[in-house]
Amino acid sequence: MAIEVRVPTILRTHTGGAKVVSAEGATLRELMEDVEDTHAGVRDRIVDGAALRRFVNVYVNDEDVRFTGGLDTPLSDGDVVVILPAVAGG
């Protein structure tokens, strides 16, 4: 079961420069574990303990996962996961 993960510029140091990586998982949490196995360092930039980091946005098929269960968001073969750092400041 392959899921396409689109990686933002700032995390491509962890993916050898790749913009898109393929990973597996039945939920976003499992997907993050799988990505971490092959691209160490990515997960901690997205997940803080048991939750998503406040200033990182994750979308599954264009839906913000904050409205679909966060890390428990279910995934299916062929889903597209987009990771985008928030553009924010004070």
**Site residues (CB under 8 A) for another protein, limited to 1-30:** 8-10
Which of these segments, 24-32, 36-44, 62-70, 71-79, binds another protein (CB under 8 A)? 62-70
25: amino acid identity, one letter: G
CB of 6 to another protein, least distance (A): 9
Copy the structure tokens of residue 14.
């962890």
Task: Confirm or reject binding of residue 59 to another protein (CB under 8 A).
Answer: yes
CA distances from 31 to 2, 35, 42, 86, 88 (A): 10, 6, 11, 21, 26
Minimal distance in Å, beta carbon 8 to another protein?
Answer: 7
State the number of CA atoms in the 13 A half-sphere of 70 facing the CB. Answer: 9
Residues within the interface to another protein (CB under 8 A)? 8-10, 55, 57, 59, 62, 64, 66, 82, 84-90
